[in-house]
Structure 1
Amino acid sequence: MEFFADRAEAGALLAERLQDAHDPVILALPRGGVAVAAPIARALGAPLDVLVTRKIGYPPTPELGVGAIAEGGEPVFDLTLLSRLGLTPESVAHVVEDERRELARRIRAYRGDRPLPALEGREVIVVDDGLATGSTARAALRAVAGARPAKVTLAVPVGATETVESLRAEADEVVVLLTPIDFRAVGQWYEHFEQLTDADVLRLLDRA
């Protein structure tokens, strides 16, 4: 069974698989994706920024994600799960508005008044620390696609096989190092998987 020591090691290994990228922009999904993306940006000599996303939770159990939203994009829902729960996108509109406010807060915290880098015509690499349901990555990829980049690559160290396959339709390329059969959670594939804070994200961005 393979493990990554931490997110930095995972990022360094991913960077080896991304050497053919041409003048890319690296967009990390905070918080965990930033720690993976930082060594990629260093290795490729590429600019690093964040693409802020938020999970849209099932109201009685917010940990259960029924969708996600990314800055610059519209909400993306798991319509099958919504239907199974007896919900519609309209019935969780209040949750979406709450998450839009938190999205705006985090954008201000991470980027201040600085806008996202210009993505039109650029090669963009979207990075996260792993894929479970893939809802936030899907929302991020659709938001990036709306900016008309030349190419979009999703790069993650580990992911559930079905999720990885489902996201191939959302990106020009998906680079993933591990797709374990017994995948249960992203953190199980790291020896050290500490929760990052906003201060950690800012420190990594400052170094980049």
Structure 2
Amino acid sequence: MIFRDRTEAGRLLAERVAETVGEGEHALVLALPRGGLPVAAPIAERLGADLDIVVVRKLGAPGWSEFGVGAIAEDGPPVYDRDNLRYARTTEQDMAETLAAERAELHRRVHRYRGSRPAPPVTGRVVVLVDDGLATGVTAHAALRWIRGRDPARVLLAVPVCAPQARDLLAPETDGVICLSAPPEFSAVGYWYEDFGQLTDDDVDEVLRRFHHALK
């Protein structure tokens, strides 16, 4: 399944999510910015749910920044992938400098996207975490741990496309993983989109502004 863009993927995914989450459940849809937000907006609209973000940063191996060995979410502790740490021949202690830099960037993005607004209340709610795809699943893992620590009623993970091993890894962290396509030969998330353009902070602002303006 090849998606035209993130918005189309979100509309298709919304129909599947609606089979599990009812409009009367006062759900909270949380997107991983930047790429998860255009996917999440149609889902929140379909469910009549609140839309917000949970800010996450990948922790790349020293000297190999694209290879994620862990991640951090909001004010939560780092979550590491033990197999990836071993593969990269690095340790949590080796990650101290990277962790500090990514924590600083995470705080910048939280302030940029949310300002003085507090993190969305999660306790007792049905939460749907959304991203544009799962490769290793390391950033979604950190976000799920952060959400779980705030005592939701249920937490679901919804993505248009995922690597089967990432889906299986994260399933125990959720009350359900909803994925439209899990190709055995996954490659990379962008491979499954015709338009997978890089998004900016301004794009995040625009999606949130459009969504909340439509509710007025």
Same fold judged by TM-score > 0.5?
yes
Which band: TM-score by shorter chain? over 0.9
Q: Which whole-Å CA distance do the structure 1 matches of 2:54 and 2:123 have between them? A: 15
Aligned to 2:193: 190
Q: Go from structure 1 to structure 2 and tell me whether the alpha carbon gap of 1:184 and 1:117 turns closer, same or farther (over 3 Å shift).
A: same
Residue 157 (structure 1) aligned to one of 151, 155, 160: 160
Alignment root-mean-square deviation, CA: 1.0
Aligned to 1:13: 12
TM-score w.r.t. length of structure 1:
0.97
Q: Deviations over 1:106-149 (max 9, x none)?
A: 00110001111110000000000000000000000000000000
List alignment gaps of at least 5 residues for structure 2. Answer: 212-216
Greater shift after overlay, 19-28 or 100-109?
A: 19-28
Q: Which whole-Å CA distance do the structure 1 matches of 2:89 and 2:192 have between them? A: 34
Aligned AA (1:186): V
Helix, strand or coil: the match of 1:18?
Answer: helix
Q: Is the CA contact 2:163–2:182 (under 8 Å) kept in the aligned structure 1?
A: yes
Pairs aligned (count): 207
More helix by share: 2
Q: Which whole-Å CA distance do the structure 1 matches of 2:61 and 2:17 have between them? A: 36
Deviation for aligned residue 1:84: 3.3
Deviation for aligned residue 1:48: 0.7
- Alignment map for 1:40-51 (pairs within 5 Å): 40-51=43-54
Aligned AA (1:93): A
Q: Is the CA contact 2:156–2:175 (under 8 Å) kept in the aligned structure 1?
A: yes
List alignment gaps of at least 5 residues for structure 1. Answer: none
Aligned to 1:91: 94
Helix, strand or coil: the match of 2:8?
Answer: helix
Q: Is the CA contact 2:61–2:90 (under 8 Å) kept in the aligned structure 1?
A: no
Helix, strand or coil: the match of 2:173?
Answer: coil
Aligned to 1:142: 145
Runs of 4+ in structure 1 deviating by more than 4 angstroms, as ranges, are none
Greater shift after overlay, 117-126 or 18-27?
A: 18-27
